[in-house]
């Protein structure tokens, strides 16, 4: 053992007890169907290393599916020394300093374009970041006087986003995706990167002029923040992201000459 080893906690410290939920494509109608369904759930739990396990909840989901909650003991250990943490590469700044860095670093307003792309109609995430009412006690990007925010809303085609970005001279494009079935969010991010690579020449905007491809930022609850390079975007934000964190990243990425100014919050 190379580091602090821990087990899950359930009833007593280190007992390994865990609870998980899942759905199986089995009916839960007749008495026999229920018995088969619960047996299938216990078989799956055993193969996942939960021994012993018990079904604490089962409910039919339509005629051919059953939802389960299973409780059991896991024998696996977690080595805390092997946990990898993605450190934030920029300080989270107060609003006044964000405005100051935009004004001194760009010499003009920062233009931020936001949308949900494709068939995604869930605007709660993008609105929480952009709208002045904000999220988690923080004002959205519309609150920053040195930013001009254009919120295109839901179900925006990627080609339209590129066209609008050129028209607005966007410094950054923010895309929120909540729909994740069959990895739709990953396909959406790749389509976004491809469209901007082929539709616009040059690199990201910086300095006092708007030129080339804007900064591409995507976010959503199922994104892995470490996949930005693989998906072809500049930054990925996951669940729990606040507007001020996004604003701080934008000034960090778009005003490099002043990136070291100020202290983190």
Question: Which residues are catalytic, by number?
Answer: 133
Dmax over Cα atoms in the chain, in whole Å?
72
d(CA 236, CA 64): 37
Tally of residues, the chain:
265
For residue 147, which of 114, 183, 120, 121 has the smallest C-alpha distance? 114
Q: Would you say 132 and 140 are in contact if contact means Cβ atoms under 8 Å apart?
A: yes
Q: Would you say 97 and 90 are in contact if contact means Cβ atoms under 8 Å apart?
A: no
Q: What are phi and psi of 6, to 5 degrees?
A: -130, 160
Q: Would you say 197 and 154 are in contact if contact means Cβ atoms under 8 Å apart?
A: no
Burial 51-81 (b: 16+ CB within 10 A, else e): eebebeebebeeeeebebebbbbbeeeeeee
For residue 180, which of 128, 222, 234, 139 has the smallest C-alpha distance? 222
């Amino acid at each position: 053992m190379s580091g602090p080893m821990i087990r899950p906690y359930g009833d007593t410290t280190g007992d390994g007890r865990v609870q998980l939920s899942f759905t199986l494509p089995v009916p839960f109608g007749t008495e026999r169907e229920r018995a088969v369904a619960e047996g299938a759930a216990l078989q799956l739990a055993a193969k996942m290393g939960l021994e012993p396990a018990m079904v604490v909840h089962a409910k039919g989901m339509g005629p051919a599916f059953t939802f389960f909650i299973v409780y059991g003991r896991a024998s696996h250990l977690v080595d805390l020394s092997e946990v990898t943490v993605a450190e934030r590469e920029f300080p989270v700044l107060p609003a006044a300093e964000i405005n100051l860095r935009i004004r001194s670093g760009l010499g003009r307003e920062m233009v931020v374009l936001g949308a949900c792309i494709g068939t995604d109609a869930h605007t709660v995430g993008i609105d929480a970041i952009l709208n002045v009412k904000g999220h988690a006690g923080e004002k959205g990007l519309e609150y920053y006087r040195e930013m001009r925010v254009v919120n295109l809303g839901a179900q925006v085609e990627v080609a339209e986003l590129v066209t609008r970005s050129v028209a607005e001279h966007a410094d950054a494009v923010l895309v929120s995706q909540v729909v994740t079935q069959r990895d739709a969010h990953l396909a959406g991010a790749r389509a976004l990167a491809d469209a901007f690579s082929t539709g616009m020449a040059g690199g990201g905007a910086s300095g006092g002029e708007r030129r080339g491809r804007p900064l591409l930022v995507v976010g959503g609850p199922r994104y892995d923040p470490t996949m930005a390079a693989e998906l072809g975007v500049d930054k990925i934000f996951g669940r729990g992201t606040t507007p001020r964190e996004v604003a701080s990243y934008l000034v960090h990425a778009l005003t490099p000459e002043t990136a070291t100014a100020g202290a983190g919050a």
